[in-house]
Structure 1
Amino acid sequence: MKFKTSSGIKSIVGKDLITDRYVAIFELVKNSYDARATEVIVSFNTSNDSAEGIGSLDDGKIYIVDNGVGMSKDDLDNKWLRLAYSDKQEGSLEEEDADKNSFREIKNRVLVGSKGIGRFSSDSLGSVITIRTKVNYENIEHQLTVNWDDFDRDLKTLFEDVSVEYKESSQLSRSNIDSYTIIEISNLRNTWTEEQLDGVTEKLRRLKNPFIEDDDLDIYCGVNIFILNQKYNLNKSNLIYSNIANVLKEKSINITASINRSNEGEYKTTIALHDRGNLVYIVEKSDDSILTHVDEIEISVNYLTTSAKSTFTRRMGIQPVNYGNIFVYRNGFHVSPYGEEHYDIFGLNLRKTQGYSRYLATRELIGFISIKDSKNLFKETSSRSNGFIENGYFKTLEEFYMDFIQRPLERYVQLINWGEIKKSGKEVHLEDVDIKENEKNNFKKYISRDNFKVLSFNSELDFEKNKPEKIIERISESINNPKPDKNKLDDDTKTLSKQIRDLKKENTETGKKAVKTERKADLLEAQNKNLVEKRDGVSYGEQITHHFTILAENLDYALDDLLDIKKNIEESDKEKFLSAIEGIRSTKLEMEVFRYLLLGTNFDLKAPDIINWYEITDWYLNKGGRRTYYDNFKSSCNIMADDKSEWLIDSSHTDLVMMIENFYRNAFEHGASFIDFTYYKNRLEITSDSELIDESLVETIFELGFSTKKNGTGIGLSQVKSFLLDIDFQVTAENTNKLVCFTILK
C-alpha cells in the first residue's frame, strides 16, 4: 500500500496557507530572485472599458515578469509541477543547472526558497495561471496553463491526475531577452483598490533591504507597465527605490553589529555606535555562540532624534512610526511580519511601560537585522506571514539583540539626555560598576563587559552638558546675554522641556503602579492577619455556616415575595419571570449545597471534575448530606449499584447534589415514605412511593413553571433536566408497579 494525495492538497499549500495577497506576490518575486533575475516587473493590467483609459482590475490580470534563467520543458515537468520539490535546498541550485547558466551567478547570491510550495501562492491571487518561459540555449517559448479550480472539483481525484495544458511556441513574448519567465494570473480572486495597489508598492519597497545600497535586483511595480508581446522601455518612475539610508545618515544615533568570519577564519562580533555621524565606540570579541553557524548576521538600529523624525517624514513622505521599526531580512528578503507598523518582535513596547524614560520602544527606533543563511537554520513558518519558527537560533538572536544592541543604545541615549547613570539592576549589568565614578569611565566599562575589547572610544564625549542643571545654567546665561544665541537657546529650552515631560510621564506611571501595589499589599496584609488570628476549623466553619444560612434565607424570603406576585404577571411574561425565579432559587440551593459539601466532605469543589456519582449519592443519603425539612419525615433511603466504576462522570459536585436534593425533596413533598437510587451500567433509576403522576402530565413535569403543588414554583425538575442535558444525559418519568420511577440514561 502507498499514500495517495488528494487534489485538495493544492488548496492546503496554496490559498488556504498563504492568505495574505501581498505575501503571495512576494513569493513569486522571490522565485524570480532565485532564478537569478536582475529585473522583476509586477504589473497590474486593467480592462480597457473605462473612459479614463485606466479601466478596472476586476477582470484584469497580474503579471510577474523577470529576466531570470527561465525554465525548459523538463524543468516545468519535473520541477515546477512536482509538489514540494525544490532544487534550492541548502541555498544553491543543482550543479548541472549552475554550469548551464553559469553566466548568471550574481554576487554569490544565496537562494531564499526551499519548501517547493511558493508557486502555489498564485492560487490565492487568481484561479488561472499561465507561465511563458524561455531558457537561453533554446529558441522556443514553453507555455503552461493551470486552472487551480480544477483541483477542487472532486477531492477524490488524485493530485497527479488533474491535467494541465502545455504547448510550445516559436513566437517569443520577449524577443530581445535571452531568457525570461512571464507569470500571468487571471480570474482574480480579490478586488484591488487604488489604496491596495499603493500598498503593494510600499511593501515591495521593504521586500529587499532598503537600508543598504543594492543594485542586485531592480523591482518595477505599477498599473499596465507590461503589455504581453509588445516591446517596451520601462519607466524609471516605476522602479521601487528607497533612499532611507541617506535620510538617516548623520541625523540619528546608530548602533551596528556584525557576526562573521574574519580573514583568519575566526568568528568575530563587532559592535559600533555613531552619534549623528560621529564615532562613539567600537568593541569586538571572538564569538563561539550558535549564531556563528549562520553565514553572516548584520544589525543596524537607529534611534530617531527629533530632527531625524522630521527629516524622515519630509523626505520619505511618511512618518517613521507608520513606516515600520526593526525589519528582519533573511538572504536579502523581508521576513514578514517583522518590522511592520504594529509588530513588536522583541516586546519592546511592553518593556517601555516599565521604565518610560529609561527604555526605548519601536516608535523611536528604525533599522534592520540581516541574516545570510544558506543552511536554512532560521526557518520561516509555512504561511510565510508569521515570521520564524522560534527555535534556538531565533532565541539566541533575541538575547544578543537585547544585550548588545538595545540596552547599550538605551544606556547611551539616557547618558546624553540626562548626564547620569542610574543603577537599575541585572538588566543593565552594572552590579560591578562604582556608581560614583566618572560617567564616561562607567560607560566604557559597561560596553567592554562580556569579554568585549574596546577598539575605539571617543574620549571627547561630554555627558555633563545635558544635565538639567547645566541646561538651566546655559538658559540663564543666554537670557542675561545682550546678544543671545537664539538657536542654542531654543535647543536648550526644547531639551529641558522634553526632560520635564518625560519625568512627569514616568512619575505618573510610577504613581499609578504605587497605588496598585499599595492596595494589593493592604489586601494581602488583611488576608494574612485573618489567617494568623488563630481561626481554628470549628470557628471558621461556624462563620461559614452562619453567613451562608443567612444569605440562603434572604434569597428564600425574596423568592416568597416574588411568588406572591406570580399571579399578577401577564401570560406573555411568565416564562421570563419564571426563568428569573429559577436563577434565584438555583443560587439559593447551590449556596446551601456548597456549605454542606464544604463543611461535611473533603471533595475538591474548585471546578468540574471526574466525580463518582455513587459515592456522592451515598454521602448524601447515608453519611450526613441528607437534610430533613419537616420533623415528621421518617423516610427510608437506599442506594444500590451493579457496577460503581461505570459512574465516574465529568460534572460538578454541587450540580449533582442539587439534582439528588431535588429528587429527594420532590418525593418527600408528594408523600413518599422511601426513595431508592439504583445504579445500573447505563442508567440510574430513582424510585419512590410518592403520589403517582397523572398520566396526562408525564411529558410536562420537567417544563419550567409546571407544578402540582399549591405553592410550587415548578423549577426543581426543570433544573434537573437542564443539568442532565448539559452533560448529554436524558431523563424520563413513569408510573410502574404503583411507584414513581425517574430514569436517567447515559
Structure 2
Amino acid sequence: MKELFFRTNSKVESLIGRELITNNTIAIFELVKNSYDAGSSKVEIKFVDFLKSNNNSVISTENSYIEIRDNGSGMTLQEIKDYWMELGTPHKEEKKEVRIRDNQIKTVVNRIVNGEKGIGRFGVDKIGSKLLLESTSFVEEKKTVVYFDWNRFNDRSKLLEQIPCEYDLVDKDPNDITGLKLKISNLRDNWITKDIDNLKRDLKKFLSPIEEENNEFKIFFEYIYTENGEVINEKERIVNDSYEYLKTNIFAEIDTNGLVNFEIVDKGIVTDRHEYLYSDGAKFGAAKIQLYYVDSADKSIFTKKMGLRTSDYGNIKIFKDNFRIMPYGEPHNDWLEIDKRHAQGIFRTIGTRDLIGHILLSNDPENGNNVLKEATDRVGFIEDVPEFSNLKSFVWEIIKHLESYIFSRIKERAKETTKILQEESASIKNEAQDLLTTFNNIISSTNLPKDQKDEIFKEIQSKSKEFSKKINNIENASKQIENQIKIFSQITSKEGILFDMLHAIKNKLSVIDAQIMGFELDINDAGLDIKTDTLRIAFSDIYKFVDESLNKVKSSKLIKEKNNIQDILDEAIGFHNIKFKKENITLNTKFSTETIFVKCSKEAIKNVFDNLFSNSIKALSKITNKIITIESIIRDNNLEIYFSDNGSGIPEDKIPFIFSLWSSNTGGSGIGLASARDIIEDHGGKLLVVDLKKENISTTFLIKIPIVG
C-alpha cells in the first residue's frame, strides 16, 4: 500500500502565532512562563526607546523594541535546533520538571513545568516582526545568536521548513550569565500606557502573594525612554500585592520557650494584641504564622488580582527557609481538618474557603524546627509524632483567636446596623409626619377651590402611605436582623447539643430499620400485598441525611455525580404522592428534561424539591382548589425549573427575607429555604422567587442549575 504524508505550509506559523494569541499581554506572559520552565530565578522585561508615559497617547515609536532576558539554563545550539525550531515539540511533556540551583543558598529545588503545547514561543510574532534570540548555555564555550524575520513566513508558496533563519556563534563576554535573551523589534501594534499597566497587572498573577514563595522566581520590569536628551531608566520589581487588599489578618510568633505574641489587624488598624505563654509549649520549635480571613468582598478582589479563586489557591501553607513544604496548603489538602471542625460548628467557625495564610519555619538550629523530620518520600513531614501534633495544636490556637474576633465583629456590626436603621427610620417617620402637616396647613391657607384642595389632600395622603410602607419595611428588616443575632448567639452555644442529638437519632434509626424489616417479614408471612417501597425510601433519605451530617470529612463538600434530573424529580414526586391525594392537591407537570443531566448530589437536590413541596403543601392548606405546577425548560446551557402553587402566597414585605433563616411565614423555622438556596448555589446555580404574572399562580420558585453533556 502506498503512503501519503502531511506537509506544513508556512501559514501555520501565523496561525499558531499572531492569529492564535489574541494580544501582546498574553504573548509576553507565554514567554515569561518559558523562562520559568527554563529554571530561571528571575526574568527582566525591558521596554526600550519608548516615549514617556502620557495617558492614552501612543508611546511606542518605530525604534521601540522589547527585550526579555532570563538567567535560566539557556539552550545549546543543538537544543535550539531540536526544541525551539520544532513545532509542537513534546520536550516539556517528556521533561516535566527542571532542577535549578541558587548560587547563594546552594539548595536544589524542583519546579513543575508550566507549558506543554510547545507553541508559546510563536507569540513573539504577535509582538513584533523581528526577533534576535541570544542563548548562553553552561555547556558551550560560545553563545548562539539566531535572527528571525517573521514576515518571511508570509510567503504561502513555501513550506515552513523551507524558510531559513540565520544564526551565528559568538564568543561569550566574561560578564555573560547563562540564560536566554529575546529582542523583539518592528512592533506590530501601537502601545499606550494602559497596555503597559495591563501587562504589569497580569504578570502579578503569575507570582505568589507570599514573599517567601517569590524568592524562587522574580520578575523585573524596566521602562527606558528619553526626555530632554537624557535617558531615563525606570525599573521596578513586579510583586503580587493580593494580600495587601485583604482587610483582616492575624500575625503570631512563638519562641522555643512557648512565649506567644499575636496581633489582629483589621483595615490597617491593630484591634487586638496579646502576649502569653502557650500551655502546651513549643515542641516543634519557633515559628511565625500569618492568617487572613476572606469574606465575599475579599474573595472577589483576590480572584481579580490573582486570577484564581481562594478555594483554588489553597489554605494554610508551610515554608521552611523560604521553600514550600508540600503538600500542606494545597487546594484539596486540609491538613488541619479545618472543614471537619467547620461542619460541627458552621455558625461559629470558618472553613478553608474563608482562610488563607502561611507558617514560617527554619533550619537554623536556634529555631529548633529540625525536630520536624521530612518523610522518606520527601513529601511533607513525619506526622505521627508529638512535635507535629504540637504544631497543629498551636496553629489551631491562632485560628481560634481569629475566629473569636471575626464572629464578635459580625455580631457587633449587625447590632450597630440595626440600631442605626431603627433610629433613622423613626427620625424619617417623624420628619415625614411634620412635612405632611406643613403641606396641609399651606394648602388650607390658599384660595384654591375646595374640590382642588381635596384632590391635593388625597394625593398627599396616598404618597404618605407609600412612604410609610417603605419605612415600615426598613423597620421590619432591622427587627429581622436583631432577632437573627439573638438566635445566632443561642445556636453557637447549643451546636454541641445538636451534634449529640444527631448521634442519638442515628442510633434510633437503627432500631427503626430493624422494626421495618420485622414488619416486612410479617407481611410476607401473612401473604398480604402491602408495598413498603415508599417507607423504605423515606427511611433511607433520613438515614443518609443524618449520616452525611455526621460525616466530618464530607459534610461541607457534597459529592457531586452526573445524575438525570428527571429521575430525582420523579422520586421526590413519588414520595409526596400520598400526601397530595390526602390533601386533594392536583399536580400539573410540563417537563422537557427527560434526558437532561446535571452534576449534583442526588440527595441534596432531592432535599431541595422536598422543601419546596413541603412549603407548597403548607401554603395550600386553606385553599379549596389546590394546584402545584412544575415546568422545566433549557436556556443558555442551564436547566430552569419553575415550581409554582396557588396557595396563600408570600407577603410582599417578606419576599426580601424569604431565604433568610427564621423567616418562615407558616410557623416553621425558615431553615428549609435558606438551606435549599445554599444547596443550589453550591451546585453553581440560583434559587429565586419570580413572578410569572399568570392566573391561578400565587408563588413561583425558579431553580437554575448548569447542565452537563
TM-score (norm 1): 0.38
Which structure has the greater CA radius of gyration?
Answer: 1
TM-score (norm 2): 0.39
